[in-house]
Amino acid sequence: MTARRAGAAAPTVWIINPNTTAAMTAGIERCARAVAAPTTTVVGVTSEIGPASIESHYDEAVAVPGVLRAIERGEREGVDGYVIACFGDPGLDAARELATGPVLGIAEAAMHTASHLGRGFSVVTTLARTVGRAWDLANHYGMQRFCRGVHACDIPVLDLETDPGARKIVTDACREAIEADGSDAVVLGCAGMASMCAPISAELGVPVVDGVTAATLTVQSLITLGLGTSKRLEFAKPAPKDYRTGG
Amino acid sequence: MTARRAGAAAPTVWIINPNTTAAMTAGIERCARAVAAPTTTVVGVTSEIGPASIESHYDEAVAVPGVLRAIERGEREGVDGYVIACFGDPGLDAARELATGPVLGIAEAAMHTASHLGRGFSVVTTLARTVGRAWDLANHYGMQRFCRGVHACDIPVLDLETDPGARKIVTDACREAIEADGSDAVVLGCAGMASMCAPISAELGVPVVDGVTAATLTVQSLITLGLGTSKRLEFAKPAPKDYRTGG
Amino acid sequence: MTARRAGAAAPTVWIINPNTTAAMTAGIERCARAVAAPTTTVVGVTSEIGPASIESHYDEAVAVPGVLRAIERGEREGVDGYVIACFGDPGLDAARELATGPVLGIAEAAMHTASHLGRGFSVVTTLARTVGRAWDLANHYGMQRFCRGVHACDIPVLDLETDPGARKIVTDACREAIEADGSDAVVLGCAGMASMCAPISAELGVPVVDGVTAATLTVQSLITLGLGTSKRLEFAKPAPKDYRTGG
Amino acid sequence: MTARRAGAAAPTVWIINPNTTAAMTAGIERCARAVAAPTTTVVGVTSEIGPASIESHYDEAVAVPGVLRAIERGEREGVDGYVIACFGDPGLDAARELATGPVLGIAEAAMHTASHLGRGFSVVTTLARTVGRAWDLANHYGMQRFCRGVHACDIPVLDLETDPGARKIVTDACREAIEADGSDAVVLGCAGMASMCAPISAELGVPVVDGVTAATLTVQSLITLGLGTSKRLEFAKPAPKDYRTGG
Amino acid sequence: MTARRAGAAAPTVWIINPNTTAAMTAGIERCARAVAAPTTTVVGVTSEIGPASIESHYDEAVAVPGVLRAIERGEREGVDGYVIACFGDPGLDAARELATGPVLGIAEAAMHTASHLGRGFSVVTTLARTVGRAWDLANHYGMQRFCRGVHACDIPVLDLETDPGARKIVTDACREAIEADGSDAVVLGCAGMASMCAPISAELGVPVVDGVTAATLTVQSLITLGLGTSKRLEFAKPAPKDYRTGG
Amino acid sequence: MTARRAGAAAPTVWIINPNTTAAMTAGIERCARAVAAPTTTVVGVTSEIGPASIESHYDEAVAVPGVLRAIERGEREGVDGYVIACFGDPGLDAARELATGPVLGIAEAAMHTASHLGRGFSVVTTLARTVGRAWDLANHYGMQRFCRGVHACDIPVLDLETDPGARKIVTDACREAIEADGSDAVVLGCAGMASMCAPISAELGVPVVDGVTAATLTVQSLITLGLGTSKRLEFAKPAPKDYRTGG
């Protein structure tokens, strides 16, 4: 086993949607493809088990097995890298144990990316009860000094695509967030907001970061650099053991 | 709904073993019962789905649904409080959403308890790859300034009970840890070490904290005080939604 | 000397009121007794020297010798554990050196307890000049990430029992605090508020934590677990030396 | 002015070497080109004023005007993004004020990249006196919890290319660093080490991150995403004013 | 070389103004002289190269070479200590490498001094875009827990002396800052505000700290104590090397 | 009442020795006088009540009333500023409430002073059980990132002057500390070491900071600047109230 893999010339990256709503996967895949290199194959993958949307710690917890099952399938198919396309980054540590190539969460990628654009960013998320998780992740990634505030716009995840007024509500929340926080940039706190990124940025005149596209390019870059999760210790592949599955 | 429940006079506390090894549950239940009040009913509950032992992020992730299923069953049965008896505290946030009464993880309870006993403690855990998770939890609970070091003794979880030399190995690791870290106390970093707590303390002459007993008494105290997870916002019961279960 | 003491079957816990107002001690003792196990003997102890109430760094500093004198007397009488019942936790480190059994401050116990109930709590205290001390303690105990705000309600300590409007003022301050801070729970920042805990919680619909009862149960649990302050180094009993007492 | 620029289809990225040693620029440019997309034009730019190598705070301070002069020239030429190719990231904040497109430092890019690969990384740098600067940057970027150690290998910067034993010395320092720190990955702490990245990774079996290539791909990604430094406030273009130049 | 120099009986301290505006230097020198001991010679030194005022990262970066040139000249003249009289503390680390005696920045001195006067201070600075730099310095000096807020009063640096309404604007900003932040004291965030220190303090009734005078006395004290920057490692004098100067 | 007092032209500063050993006060006073301005009157004051030396939390706690009594006496006599000459800085917050002029602790002054001299310092203290207190203070003052280590040399406080081998032991501890910690400077962690400062610095070739002299000059500077503890809120003079004194 080598730690450094030859940078795949024509890599395949899976964008895993941890919820089971295929329509959302399609939108995510479209955004990811639009930024990936022509030589990169981007595939949106809908989780086969779990909740229709992720809006609580419970939803996130029960979404994780589906994410891991997707990673296991991807490994069998030789996938080069993965994006977990939910802003709670569910199952990220476990996914890194399973995968040979790099795995990024979209909150992770978005926060890191936004930190390169100024002194601080505001996160705009869906429901208020997800605000705490966003702060946990900011702390976990060392981004708390860049994260100026996390703001909910009180739209359920699945309404982002169907509610015709959704984009205006999110845009208004972004505008208020940068004013209140004195921020330089906005991070969109839900994979379902990916397609809103360009128009909101155009309207507000500040950089707006979507995690799906940010993570796709980060994974693509890591593959080019031949980098993946270190298998030295904590993230080595778990030893096979007896797992009892539910009935 | 009232935020403060009448302190149950004769409460029932479930000690949920997130792995599927029933023998381990029995040992955990025994330790918890030995410290609970005579009026408290302590029940050890073995998870019905998940891994035989938890020794990686992957194991932990796939153990969570079983923990949550146990909580859901407990809620139907009117259980007053819960302990999640694995040192990674798997599923704690989600469990708090589901439960009406208090839920404690054993890492959480052990670290808080040890912080009352001196300036700093050392954690002694099983395999080296679990060290990172213990640090994550110390940070999450605000205990990083008390946690002086996390040390692995390289015994698989299920060998703790069967390996006749296990206690000596753990004891030696504890001794070396307090010397190396200049610690005042030791935290045992696995539910499977619960029964070793008293003899190791006797041998080393420092307080040794086991999370199973610490969490049982913390939950019992919270019930007596009429306290449980706040349902004000983040930890309110999740709205019912469509969940696709695996095949 | 053993580090782990046999868990006393019928322990005695002293609740030391660091100010010299006996009426306040009586109220504190009543609250503590109401939650202690039937086998635990709870005794309220009024400090013999010091200020009538503690509302400044100066008050706190001059209250400490009385607390320590009470601990020394308790040690001669074989007391099993102590609570220091003032939200500044005066003399806690020194008391831990003197005592064989566990010693808890009520700020310490309340903050730790509240951290188990959600993402964050607000502290409501008496006079504005005590706010800084509460923050110092939150930092010292690692609780700063849970402590969302410290709010004064501008009632002198001794008016808490005599002012008929006190409970309403405190309740209003609690309501405003959880709104302003987005908190899940409230910590009452004065021993004199202990009896208000249940009614405020009932009125506001969130968990409200009183340090006197929280500390009493924490000490009782530590005694049950056979745990006390580590005597390994920093908190070993101080060597006897020449002390000049004031005239 | 729009905040979001159309992602340049065929962008130009300048890799600015803040020291005046052209041979080093050539090596850096080669490494950057090897990873950039075929549609990206990578140009190595040697600073026209400043020190021959950067090995102290003084060197770094006097290198900054040359970096800024290069950025000013690049802006006149319509360059799309910049990498500052010295591990002290000299002049980064000022460069971000001047440039319309994104600017990354190599320490910044390397540390962020390494944080995606495991729990912690070790930095291996040149002279011991540069260790402090690396820690400052880790703190500044929020990477201190991932940065496990910074280790000097005591090779002057300009000897990295000329000393035939340099690679072995650096490799040995990397090996010792990951052992001592328990790290998952290594960050090379000097642009002059860029070409050693692949062989050291191959030899040690852990991911090794070079900042030059990491920063080049990060800048390229930001351009693709249409992202650059926010011009909302702190990093707006400085107002023109009277500058007295030295004689 | 000895680490401890004989405390100079009649030391010379240079107050270096990093911008090129001589009128401002005169004001700074006057303030510094007013507090220095009669045996201390205070000399204001105007930078020979750089911007007319410092109001951006760019301004600060291009001011550094002038500061360092002044230090080099001072070293040749046997100066005993230096103050860098701009609130961004430009070139401080490099200056410490060059100088034999102590070097203090005015932000550094002011923040440390203010930390002795209460729990927290507010900084009042000139333009909004300098706020971020003040926070960076607070973090760098360990003063972030004392720094309650940084507030801009939107006066350009050079207008501080010429705008007859400047003092009222600054005073109002100070008043609002201590109210908003709940601060005990104010730190003036620009060398050009030095002469306003006493009247603002008189008007607001709180301590107001000016960095120029604070730094002058700190340097004077260090000289008296025979203390200067440690030359043990990081801040040893840089080795002479080839520097290419601009044309 | 004005916040800013006219800088006393010929101020009196009391150096309060919180223990009751007059011989130690004499040594402290001698060191303080040697660095104070000729116009400053330095008076060493021995505490009238308390322990003969301070080597535990208990000693420190019972020393506080004596310190405060000295401050109260000083206020009646119009003293301009105070130094609390014990490295635990006992009673500092309370003393600041009582005094009109500035009050500094020697740990506070020494750590702040040492932070100006390089990246990090080591503290060398007396007994091992005092190490924890030094860390608490480093955290409290924001100096934890400069404090690289705290090392005990296992000499009781009162032996520092009488044990002929004391200086060698302390010197050796300092040498080992800077090597082990990679420090730039040393802070002497006991007032009784003040006279060793110059010879240890001369022997080791690094700056050595003694808190007694550092604090004396800091207080003298604050007086010159007309600065003292803010009386705005937390540190306002405590309201008179009933204090019961011990029998």
Rounded mean pLDDT of E97-106? 98
Q: Which CATH fold would you assign to the domain C107-211?
A: Rossmann fold (3.40.50)
Closest chain E residue by Cα to residue F106: E116
- With a cut of 90, say whether residue A177 has pLDDT above it: yes
Compute chain C's Rg from CA coordinates. 17
Contact status, residue C82 vs residue C108, Cβ threshold 8 Å: no
Give me the pLDDT at residue A7, please.
54
Residue of F159, F191, F199, F144 lying closest to F175 (CA atoms): F199
Determine the distance in angstroms separating the CA of F225 from the nearest CA of chain C, rounded to an integer: 26
Q: Is E76 exposed, middle or buried (0-12, 13-18, 19+ CB in 10 A)?
A: exposed
Give me the pLDDT at residue E5, please.
46
Among B201, B220, B230, most C C-beta atoms within 10 A, so best to mutate, is B230
Among C187, C201, C232, C234, most B C-beta atoms within 10 A, so best to mutate, is C232
What size, in residues, is chain A? 247
B130-145 burial by CB neighbour count: b if 16+ within 10 A, else e?
bbbbbbbbbbbbbbbb
Determine the distance in angstroms separating the CA of D38 from the nearest CA of chain E, rounded to an integer: 33
Rounded mean pLDDT of D153-158? 93
Give me the pLDDT at residue B88, please.
98
| Cα dihedral sign, B87-B92-B96-B99 | negative
Instruction: Give F104's strand partners.
Output: F83
How many Å apart are CA A129 and CA B13, to the nearest integer? 27
Closest chain E residue by Cα to residue F199: E4
What size, in residues, is chain D? 247
How many Å apart are CA C97 and CA C112, to the nearest integer? 22
Among A49, A56, A59, A68, most B C-beta atoms within 10 A, so best to mutate, is A56
- H or E element in which residue D123 lies: strand D121-125
Instruction: Look at the block and give the residue holding tokens 């240079």.
Output: E14
**What type of residue is F230?**
S
Residue E180 neighbours by CB distance under 10 Å: 12
CATH architecture assignment, domain E107-210? 3-Layer(aba) Sandwich (3.40)
How many Å apart are CA A50 and CA A61, to the nearest integer? 9
- Cβ-nearest to A98 among B49, B58, B140: B58
From residue D95, alpha-carbon distances to A184, D61, E82, E129 in Å are 16, 14, 28, 15
Contacts of E220 in chain F (CB under 8 A): 221
Rounded mean pLDDT of D103-128? 98
Q: Do F117 and E227 touch (CB under 8 A)?
A: yes
How many Å apart are CA B83 and CA B91, to the nearest integer? 11
- With a cut of 90, say whether residue E242 has pLDDT above it: no
The reply to whether B244 touches chain A by the CB within 8 Å rule is yes
Residues E224-236: pLDDT tens digits?
Answer: 999 999 999 999 9
What size, in residues, is chain C? 247
The sheet carrying D81-84 orders its strands as D41-46, D12-17, D81-84, D103-105
- H or E element in which residue C240 lies: none
**What type of residue is B41?**
T
What size, in residues, is chain B? 247
How many Å apart are CA E134 and CA A117, to the nearest integer? 19
Determine the distance in angstroms separating the CA of F225 from the nearest CA of chain E, rounded to an integer: 7
**Residue B5 — very low, low, confident or very high, per pLDDT cuts 50/70/90?**
very low
| Cα dihedral sign, F67-F68-F72-F75 | positive
- With a cut of 80, say whether residue A51 has pLDDT above it: yes
Average pLDDT, chain C: 95
Q: Do E238 and D55 touch (CB under 8 A)?
A: yes
**Residue C7 — very low, low, confident or very high, per pLDDT cuts 50/70/90?**
low
Q: In 3-state terms, what secondary structure has residue E184? A: coil
How many Å apart are CA B77 and CA B68, to the nearest integer? 14
The reply to whether B202 touches chain C by the CB within 8 Å rule is yes
Instruction: Give D83's strand partners.
Output: D15, D104
Residue C55 neighbours by CB distance under 10 Å: 23
Q: Do A230 and D208 touch (CB under 8 A)?
A: no
Q: Do D141 and A115 touch (CB under 8 A)?
A: yes
- With a cut of 50, say whether residue D191 has pLDDT above it: yes
Contact status, residue D123 vs residue D151, Cβ threshold 8 Å: yes
**Residue B168 — very low, low, confident or very high, per pLDDT cuts 50/70/90?**
very high
How many Å apart are CA C244 and CA D14, to the nearest integer? 74
The reply to whether A241 touches chain B by the CB within 8 Å rule is yes
Give me the pLDDT at residue D136, please.
98
Query: Residue A22, CB half-sphere, CA atoms under 13 Å: how many?
Result: 2
Among D93, D121, D219, D225, most A C-beta atoms within 10 A, so best to mutate, is D225
Give me the pLDDT at residue D5, please.
46
Phi (first) and psi of residue D7, to 5 degrees: -60, 115
The reply to whether F116 touches chain E by the CB within 8 Å rule is yes
Q: Do C242 and F136 touch (CB under 8 A)?
A: no
The reply to whether D43 touches chain A by the CB within 8 Å rule is no
Q: In 3-state terms, what secondary structure has residue C90? A: coil
- Residues 55-114 (A) with a CB less than 8 A from some CB of B: 55-62, 64-66, 68-69, 91, 93-94, 96-98
How many Å apart are CA D39 and CA D213, to the nearest integer? 16
Residues C148-198: pLDDT tens digits?
Answer: 999 999 999 999 988 999 999 999 999 999 999 999 999 999 999 999 999
- With a cut of 90, say whether residue A57 has pLDDT above it: yes
Instruction: Give E150's strand partners.
Output: E123
Contact status, residue C133 vs residue C57, Cβ threshold 8 Å: yes
Contact status, residue F6 vs residue F226, Cβ threshold 8 Å: yes
Where do the structural domains in chain E lie, given as residue ranges? 12-105+213-224, 107-210
Instruction: Look at the block and give the residue holding tokens 């005007």.
Output: D65
Residues E48-83: pLDDT tens digits?
Answer: 999 999 999 999 999 999 999 999 999 999 999 999
Contacts of A37 in chain D (CB under 8 A): 37
Chains near D, with 3+ CB pairs < 8 A?
A, E
HEC-encoded secondary structure of C155-211? CCCCHHHHCCCHHHHHHHHHHHHHHHHCCCEEEECCHHHHHHHHHHHHHHCCCEEEH
Of E243 and F201, which is predicted with more confidence?
Answer: F201
Longest dimension (CA), chain D: 54
The reply to whether C119 touches chain B by the CB within 8 Å rule is yes
DSSP strand pairing (B243-244 vs A50-51): antiparallel
Residues C187-242: pLDDT tens digits?
Answer: 999 999 999 999 999 999 999 999 999 999 999 999 999 999 999 999 999 988 88
From residue C199, alpha-carbon distances to B7, B233, C106, C168 in Å are 14, 21, 20, 10
Residues E197-241: pLDDT tens digits?
Answer: 999 999 999 999 999 999 999 999 999 999 999 999 999 999 888
The reply to whether D115 touches chain E by the CB within 8 Å rule is no
Alpha helix stretches (DSSP H) within chain E = 22-35, 57-77, 92-98, 106-115, 131-140, 159-162, 166-181, 197-204, 211-224
**Interface B:C, Cβ pairs < 8 A:** 165
Contacts of D141 in chain A (CB under 8 A): 115, 142
Contacts of D1 in chain A (CB under 8 A): 205
How many Å apart are CA A124 and CA B99, to the nearest integer? 28
Domains D12-105+213-224 and D107-211 share a fold: yes
| Sequence-distant (≥ 6) Cβ neighbours of residue E102 within 8 angstroms | E81, E82, E218, E219, E222, E223, E227, E228, E229, F116, F117
- Give DSSP secondary structure letters for C10-48: S-EEEEEESSS-HHHHHHHHHHHHHHS-TT-EEEEEE-S
Q: Which CATH fold would you assign to the domain F12-105+213-224?
A: Rossmann fold (3.40.50)
Q: Do F235 and C57 touch (CB under 8 A)?
A: yes
Contact status, residue B238 vs residue A59, Cβ threshold 8 Å: yes
Give me the pLDDT at residue A1, please.
34
Give me the pLDDT at residue C82, please.
98
Q: Do A35 and D224 touch (CB under 8 A)?
A: yes
The reply to whether D204 touches chain A by the CB within 8 Å rule is yes
Determine the distance in angstroms separating the CA of D132 from the nearest CA of chain E, rounded to an integer: 7
Residue A191 gets which letter from DSSP? G
Contacts of F202 in chain E (CB under 8 A): 2-4
- Give DSSP secondary structure letters for B92-152: HHHHHHH-SS-EEEHHHHHHHHHHTSSS-EEEEESSGGGHHHHHHHHHHTT-TTTEEEEEE
Chains C and D touch (3+ CB pairs under 8 A): no
Contacts of E115 in chain F (CB under 8 A): 112, 141-142
Determine the distance in angstroms separating the CA of F129 from the nearest CA of chain E, rounded to an integer: 26
- With a cut of 60, say whether residue B247 has pLDDT above it: no
